Amino acid sequence: MKTMTFAGAIEDALMKAMSEDSRIVVFGEDVHALRMNLFTKFGEMRVRPTPISESAFLGAAVTAAMAGLRPVVELMMVDFVAVASDALVNHAAKLEGFSGGRWKAPMVVRMGCGGGYGDGGQHEQSLWGWLAQVPGMKVVVPSNPADAGGLMLSALEDEGPGAARRGASDEAGHTAEERPVEWEAVLYL
C-alpha cells in the first residue's frame, strides 16, 4: 500500500476513473494547472479550465450530466457555492425527483473549505451542514486520504449529485480502493 496526501489520493482516483470511463470530465477554475497530470493525459476536452463564473460552470455541469457526461466540478472554496446554489440546490439535487426518475444529474462537486489560513470570511466557512439539508444532495467529507480517494471513486459511480470536501490538510495516509457507500446512511461531516 503506498502512502500519499489527500490531493494525491484524489488525483489517483480521478486518473483511474477517467481512464476507465470516457464520460468523466473535470472542469473549474485553474484545473489545467491544479490537475496537470490529468490535463496532460486527457487533454483540454476532458479537463477544462473555466473563467471565474461559478454559476455558469456549475450550470453547465448540470446540463452535461443530463446529456450523459459525468462531470467533476472543482470550486476553489465552498463559500462560492452560494453564488451557484441555484444550479446545484434547485436543479441538480432535485432533478430526479422532479422528473419522476426520468432524468439524473450524476456529478461530483469538489470544494475547498475550512479556516485557519487567513483567507478572510468569504474563504473560510464550512457549509457542509447547509448542503446536507438539501433533498437529493449527498455530502462526503473524508477524514483521511484513503477515504478521500475511495469515496471519490464511489461518488463517480453514483447516479446523483454529490459534494465532496477538498481537505485543507495535506496529511499523508494510505490509498484505498472504492469505498462502497450507502449515501443515505453514511454522511461524513
Among candidate residues 32, 91, 123, 174, the one labeled active-site is 123
149 CB burial (10 A radius; 0-12, 13-18, 19+): buried
- Reading the block at residue 89, the C-alpha cell is 440546490
Q: Which DSSP letter does residue 134 get?
A: S
SS in 3 state form for 9-32? HHHHHHHHHHHHCCCEEEEEECHH
Rounded-to-integer distance, Cα 76 and Cα 109, Å:
10
Which residue type is seen at 184? E
CB of 117 within 8 A of CB of 167? no
- Please say whether the beta carbons of 188 and 147 come within 8 A: yes
- 27 φ/ψ angles, rounded to the nearest 5 degrees: -150, 160
> Is 91 annotated as catalytic?
no
Catalytic residues: 123
